[in-house]
Amino acid sequence: MFIIGDFARHGRVSVRMLRHYDATGLLRPAHVDPASGYRYYTAAQLTRLNRIIALKDLGFTLQQVQDIVDEKVSLEELRGMLRLRRAELETAVAAAGARLIQVEARLRAIESEGHMPTNDVVIKSVPAVRVAELTATAASFEPEDIGPVIGPLYDELFRCLDSAGITPTGPGVAYYEDAPEGGGRISVHAAVQVSAPLQDGALRILDLPSIDQAATIVHRGSMDAVLPTAQALARWIDANDYQSTGYPREINLECPENRDDWVTELQAPVTRA
């Protein structure tokens, strides 16, 4: 048998952790000396310890771990728990990947400070266009709040259009407004050009008004990395004596499967300062 310190070394855990597992009933010593209170473990208990550590590293709570190792969870329930955990980890990985792209975009924006955009900025009028849209609210205009809202919104929009038998006639148009409830929240509009009668409801079909003057710039790549392009447009507007009058629209000119190959035009409504 092993004293607690030796067992901890063999199991690559701390003595404190073993004491905690003992207190919770997750892994009790094989023997406790009644006189000294010393805890003793057997080599066979390393198997249970390894299972505990593996399940804990998968993100299960200690109560879930105990139910699994004590076989209080059926095989099918365990499969379901593992599938759920896999989905949670995949979501976390995707979120981390998106955050990494945003950090890189911030770095590029910092590196380009003081430089005029190499992209051509064009002032033009934008005609009215009929669109079908769904709307939701984001916590802010920051990419980490907009991205998780607008992606699913577009997925649902195209499902609704398919169910209604409406075929898009032009590119997607994303636009934004301050939400009525305030607090920095943003109304996110996921729209696409259509030729269909006007309608209200969850799926709205409306005429998006024209823009008399829009400062436009083309962004190439994922919209998670749009920040340097958007800030380059903002610097051009300021340097050329214009003033923004609203959030830029995003016109999805090309949206292949690889998001890094996307082509998007930003259309910022402006007036002379």
Q: What is the pLDDT of residues 92-144, one digit of tens each?
A: 888 787 778 777 766 766 676 665 555 589 999 999 999 999 999 999 988 77
The angle at the Cα of 185, spanning 208 to 176, to the nearest 5 degrees, equals 20
179-224 pLDDT per residue, tens = 999 898 999 999 999 999 999 988 999 999 999 999 999 999 888 8
* pLDDT value of residue 169: 96
Arithmetic mean of pLDDT, 37-43: 93
Rounded Cα gap, residues 157 and 176, in angstroms: 16
124 SS3 class = strand
State the average pLDDT over residues 37-58.
90
CB-based contacts of 120, cutoff 8 Å, min separation 6: 217, 218
Average pLDDT estimate for 225-240: 86
From CA 127, how far away is CA 170, in angstroms rounded?
Answer: 13
Which is nearest to 221 in space by CA: 271, 179, 163, 266?
A: 266
Helix (H) or strand (E) holding 135: strand 129-138
CB 250 within 8 A of CB 223: yes
Return the pLDDT at 108: 67
d(CA 251, CA 190): 11
Weakest mean pLDDT among 52-56, 84-88, 111-115, 147-151: 111-115
User: Which pLDDT value is given to residue 156?
Assistant: 97
The predicted pLDDT at position 252 comes to 95
